């Protein structure tokens, strides 16, 4: 797509994000959430839209204003649409009739409500809410505590999992499940106790809910969700014995006989591929139906633009035998068909990121939200039997019509040890034959995620400023099988580093428009670790930007919200082997750094706490190295994806300006 100008950081205010498609029961209408940014308020807002699936009409807006309205969910008969809104100050559940009229507020809870799921008879909506142990979700005492939350009080810490990036310090609240009567608004709390409960789905007969919970005594060292059946009348919970399996979602077949679940046994810790499991309700047995598929059953493609995406889980067709799910494979997320007999085959194989899906189980049709490198994200219908896609929305068409976007070229090459590697290279948006351009190597986080065929705002901004952009999936990435994704564990800075350097060598050998004397490197989280590692092991890059990084595994062990177990899983030891942790720490090689390094970090990043950046910065400055440190107030690990818009824009401009200063 060519036009007059490229993408700038400030264009973030004009771009819109579409997510969470939901088909009506008869499949004729699809609801979705559209998110934008209010520049005056400096915050995001979202509204609910619907569009007819015949593709003949423009989307219709259902909610208005600069609040956050999201999570549209159709009633079983299609006469009402439930959604979540913060228009009253906290997230609450609302319903609106499809014939029009005002939205009705169903919940008014002190701590809010979310994740609505309709009962099969349409009379109740189950939802999740947080509350202190021993309290009820409806207690007004909780409301008073919320009003006094700015009062400073000591925080008593008695467990290791006492903080979480994005949520902050744990203050005694647990996720509970409740239900609200749609007619009367009466709320009934269904779970309680000192455990978190996660709502999955209702049984078709309405007599049970499938929920996830971890009732382990030692929750600090447990990382699983067991499947439970919850009786909505009595509140009785029954655990389903699944051995070592842990599940992230579940969906009941329409006939009630089978539950499809995404899960794994953590054989490779957090590098374990998630599989599709079927639970036979009558025989009480589990069967894995994707054991021969060497790919994870989840959309794990990393991006920096989309807001409010919701993994679709496993979607049943009306025959209760076949189902559909998303697989991450070779830099794409693709739609797969499966059935209870173990058959599997792809229903949509394209170079794209399918990040949302809703199924019309009667007509073999789905609504899919798709992003591509030159398309931030739009809604399509997918005819499953033919693979035909029909566009339903073009929410950024007006903005993009005069913009030049760079379309990546896929590349593949061999690593030093013969392993095949896969990635992409983007030319500058104003590319001219015969000219030489600087190159930026981008490194993804995770490490167990993947780059792929989606719109990357940061990459487009670099391209518009005259940079070529190189990005690959080194070992440790998803999309290339279990052995590949596991290969980085206990080898940080080893094979993964060599993969990235081989990618740069390949690009220089293959593309004569790259200036080998003007190379830059950047990445965030694991990509920040790797940026730190690279500048401590080679001087081939003339500028680098490290973002939300890890520099010291020894201190990371105790300060990160995931530090103690993530370090053991990924580096292969804890504090019993400090020499090993230090060997894999970029800080140990700081004397070797000659590359000018910009350090970007958020003040409230609990995943990679800011002390990681502080140590690196002070060590570099003490050695008279060329560096600068930018601290982003009040932000967490998600700054680049969902942080305050003005700070996201500032971050992008810091990156571009730093590279301009050394590579132009």
Residues taking part in catalysis: 525, 637
> How far apart are the C-alpha atoms of 134 and 131, rounded to whole Å?
8
Q: Are 471 and 441 in contact (CB under 8 A)?
A: yes
C-beta of residue 662 within 8 angstroms of C-beta of residue 596 = yes
Q: Following CA atoms 97, 98, 101, 107 in sequence, which dihedral angle do they give, to the nearest 10 degrees?
A: 30
d(CA 237, CA 251) in angstroms, rounded, equals 18
At which residue do the structure tokens 């003040």 appear? 603
> Do strands 468-472 and 437-443 pair parallel, antiparallel, or not at all (unpaired)?
parallel
Secondary structure string (H, E, C) spanning 123-140: CEEEEEEEEECCCCCCCH
Q: How far is Cα 85 from Cα 62, in angstroms, rounded to an integer?
A: 12
- Containing 583, the helix (H) or strand (E) segment is helix 578-583
DSSP symbol at 233:
T
Q: Is the dihedral of CA 446, 450, 453, 458 positive or negative?
A: positive
Cα separation, 101 vs 93, in Å, equals 16
Q: By CB neighbour count within 10 A (0-12 exposed, 13-18 middle, 19+ buried), where does 205 fall? A: exposed
Provide the angle, in degrees to the nearest 10, between the axes of the packed helices 495-510 and 526-535.
Answer: 70
CA atoms within 13 A on the CB side of 197: 28
Question: Any bridge partners for residue 356, and if so which?
Answer: 369
Distance, CA of 590 to chain centre: 32
User: How many angstroms separate the CA atoms of 105 and 97, rounded?
Assistant: 12
Tokens of 36: 């934008």
Compute the C-alpha angle 162/200/62, nearest 5°. 100
**Cβ distance 528 to 547 under 8 Å?**
yes
């Amino acid at each position: 797509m060519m036009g007059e100008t490229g993408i700038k950081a400030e264009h973030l205010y004009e771009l819109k994000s579409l997510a969470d498609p939901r088909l009506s029961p008869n499949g004729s209408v699809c609801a979705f959430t559209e998110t934008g940014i209010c520049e005056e308020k400096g915050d995001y807002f979202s509204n609910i839209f619907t569009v007819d699936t015949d593709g003949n009409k423009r989307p219709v807006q259902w909610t208005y204003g600069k609040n956050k309205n999201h999570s549209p969910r159709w009633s079983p008969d299609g006469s009402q649409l439930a959604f979540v809104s913060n228009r009253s100050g906290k997230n609450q559940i609302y319903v609106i009739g499809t014939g029009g009229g005002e939205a009705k507020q169903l919940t008014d809870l002190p701590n809010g409500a979310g994740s609505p799921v309709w009962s099969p008879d349409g009379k109740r909506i189950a939802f999740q809410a947080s509350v202190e142990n021993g309290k009820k979700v409806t207690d007004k005492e909780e409301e008073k505590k919320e009003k006094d939350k700015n009062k400073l009080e000591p925080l008593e810490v008695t467990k290791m999992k006492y903080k979480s990036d994005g949520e902050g310090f744990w203050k005694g609240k647990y996720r509970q499940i409740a239900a609200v009567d749609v007619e009367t608004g009466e709320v009934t709390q269904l779970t309680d106790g000192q455990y978190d409960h996660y709502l999955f789905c209702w049984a078709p007969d309405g007599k049970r809910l499938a929920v996830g919970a971890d009732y382990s005594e030692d929750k600090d060292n447990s990382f699983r969700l067991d499947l439970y059946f919850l009786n909505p009348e009595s509140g009785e919970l029954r655990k389903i014995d699944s051995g070592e399996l842990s599940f992230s979602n579940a969906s009941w077949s329409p006939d009630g006989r089978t539950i499809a679940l995404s899960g794994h046994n953590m054989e490779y810790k957090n590098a374990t591929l998630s599989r599709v499991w079927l639970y036979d309700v009558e025989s009480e047995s589990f069967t894995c139906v994707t054991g021969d598929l060497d790919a994870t059953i989840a959309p794990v493609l990393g991006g920096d633009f989309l807001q409010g995406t919701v993994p679709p889980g496993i979607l049943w067709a009306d025959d209760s035998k076949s189902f559909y799910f998303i697989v991450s494979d070779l830099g794409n997320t693709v739609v797969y068909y499966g059935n209870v007999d173990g058959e599997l085959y792809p229903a949509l194989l394209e170079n794209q990121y399918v990040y949302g899906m809703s199924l019309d189980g009667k007509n073999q049709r789905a609504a899919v939200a798709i992003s591509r490198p030159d398309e931030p994200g739009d809604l399509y219908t997918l005819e499953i039997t033919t693979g035909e896609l029909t566009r339903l929305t073009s929410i950024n068409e007006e903005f993009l019509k005069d913009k030049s976007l760079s379309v990546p070229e896929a590349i593949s090459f061999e690593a030093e040890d013969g392993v095949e590697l896969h990635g992409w290279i983007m030319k500058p948006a104003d590319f001219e034959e015969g000219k030489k351009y600087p190159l930026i190597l981008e490194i993804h986080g995770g490490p167990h995620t993947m780059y792929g065929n989606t719109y990357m705002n940061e990459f487009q901004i670099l391209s518009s400023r005259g940079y070529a952009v190189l990005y690959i999936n080194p070992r440790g990435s998803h999309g290339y099988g279990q052995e590949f994704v596991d290969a980085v564990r206990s080898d940080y800075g080893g094979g993964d580093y060599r993969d990235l350097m081989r990618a740069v060598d390949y690009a220089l050998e293959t593309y004569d428009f790259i200036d080998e004397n003007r190379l830059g490197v950047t990445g965030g989280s694991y990509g920040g670790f790797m940026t730190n590692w690279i500048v401590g092991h080679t001087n081939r890059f003339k500028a680098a930007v490290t973002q939300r990084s890890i520099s010291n595994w020894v201190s990371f062990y105790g300060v990160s919200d995931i530090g103690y177990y993530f370090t053991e899983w990924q580096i292969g030891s804890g504090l019993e082997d400090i020499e090993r942790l230090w060997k894999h720490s970029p800080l140990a090689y700081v004397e070797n750094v000659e590359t000018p390094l910009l350090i970007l970090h958020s003040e409230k990043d609990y995943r990679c706490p800011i002390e990681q950046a502080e140590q690196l910065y002070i060590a570099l400055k003490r050695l008279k190295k060329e560096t600068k440190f930018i601290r982003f107030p009040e932000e967490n690990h998600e700054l680049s994806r969902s942080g305050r818009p003005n700070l996201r824009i500032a971050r992008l401009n810091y990156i571009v300006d730093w590279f301009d200063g050394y590579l132009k």
